């Protein structure tokens, strides 16, 4: 039974601010949830409220988490469906906060089953190779960033666009000129274009080996998302248009995209992500797994899910590259910079450094 829940601010400084079409962040302001059973076992989860996408902040997540924690006290930690239904019934949306509780519950349940999370999810362990992101800057600066990523041995580069259509074309031209042919580019406009500019950019950059484009238009604009797909030479991937399985079903019906981008902090966690994946499998839509500003703890849980579900074929799990510190013992380990290797410990296998945690604000509900 759940006897105590600890909720923490999780503030992780970045090496430098990062910019996407929707804004700039200078620090990862996440939340951490530890769910304890009466036997002393605990599960740990992280949510990354990228407020400009999910509409949640660290402060709003902390307030919501207090209420969620009170609802779960005394419940069986193994009742995943029941516990998460309680949260959904109590409060709609608030997916990032829910994702932290979801991750902690799955971690605890897998520990009780004495299984690594990928096995608890019915999958096997495989190496997951992430791309690395070039954030928005001048074409010249982005080209230099791409060259550095190429030199580190990346198998694909993700490029943030969506500020200005003509300059976005120049950005891709400069990057391809700097790195030469062969290394795939994956672009993400983060809703920064309209239908006309999206088609303009995508047709102009067709020669530059772009694997797909994420979220070219506004999240709510399914009609124009489908129109872009119909007129683009480059495949289209839903990101901000896809939060839950309900969105996934709508996207399939609209024939709006070629790929789904699943993020645990956006979807509400593993429980919801599995429903999205089931719809994707039925519709023949390959998926990618993405991230917000998670530490290696959150990235580890994402990697377990990716390992367990072969429908996930693209991996964008690079947020810890931007962090100035890594307070996570255990968990998935980056080898050769881009390969994520999972542990075989029960649960997801990641934790947080106790001394680092003492520096973070804590709320206890018992």
Report the binding-site residues for Mg(2+).
188, 214, 239
What's the start-to-end Cα distance of the chain, in Å? 12
Report the binding-site residues.
188, 214, 239
CB distance 105 to 69 below 8 Å: no
Q: Is 218 a catalytic residue?
A: no
Which of 98, 111, 158, 160 is catalytic? The answer is 160
Q: Is 111 a catalytic residue?
A: no
Which of 34, 98, 111, 263 is catalytic? The answer is 263
CB distance 349 to 39 below 8 Å: no
CB distance 21 to 84 below 8 Å: no
Kindly list the catalytic residues. 160, 263
């Amino acid at each position: 039974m759940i006897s105590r829940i600890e909720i923490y601010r999780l503030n992780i400084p970045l090496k430098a601010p990062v910019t996407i079409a929707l804004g700039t962040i200078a620090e990862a302001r996440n939340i951490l949830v530890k769910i304890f059973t009466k036997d002393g076992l605990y599960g740990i989860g992280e949510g990354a409220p990228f407020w400009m996408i999910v509409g949640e902040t660290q402060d709003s997540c902390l307030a919501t988490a207090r209420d969620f924690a009170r609802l779960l006290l005394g419940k069986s930690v193994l009742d995943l469906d029941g516990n998460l239904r309680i949260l959904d019934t109590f409060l709609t949306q608030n997916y990032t906060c829910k994702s932290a509780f979801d991750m902690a519950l799955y971690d605890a349940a897998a520990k009780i089953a004495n299984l690594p999370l990928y096995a608890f999810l019915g999958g096997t362990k495989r190496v997951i190779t992430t791309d690395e992101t070039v954030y928005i800057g001048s074409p010249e600066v982005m080209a230099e960033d791409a060259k550095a990523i190429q030199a580190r041995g990346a198998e694909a580069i993700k490029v943030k666009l969506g500020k200005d259509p003509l300059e976005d074309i120049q950005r891709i031209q400069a990057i391809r000129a700097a790195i030469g042919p062969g290394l795939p580019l994956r672009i993400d406009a983060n809703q920064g274009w309209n239908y006309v500019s999206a088609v303009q950019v995508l047709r102009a950059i067709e020669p530059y080996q772009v694997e797909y484009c994420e979220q070219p238009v506004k999240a709510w604009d399914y009609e124009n998302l489908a129109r872009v797909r119909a007129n683009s030479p480059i495949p289209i991937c839903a990101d901000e248009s896809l939060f839950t399985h309900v969105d996934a079903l709508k996207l399939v019906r609209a024939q709006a995209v070629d790929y789904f981008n699943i993020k645990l902090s956006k979807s509400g966690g593993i429980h919801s992500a599995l429903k999205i994946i089931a719809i994707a499998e039925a519709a023949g839509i390959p998926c990618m797994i993405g991230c917000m500003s998670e530490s290696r703890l959150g990235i580890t849980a994402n990697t377990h899910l990716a390992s367990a579900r072969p429908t996930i074929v693209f991996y964008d799990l690079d947020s810890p590259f931007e962090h100035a510190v890594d307070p996570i013992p255990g968990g998935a380990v980056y080898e050769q910079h881009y390969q994520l290797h999972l542990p075989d410990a029960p649960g997801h296998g990641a934790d947080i450094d106790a001394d680092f945690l003492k520096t973070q604000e804590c709320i206890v509900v018992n």
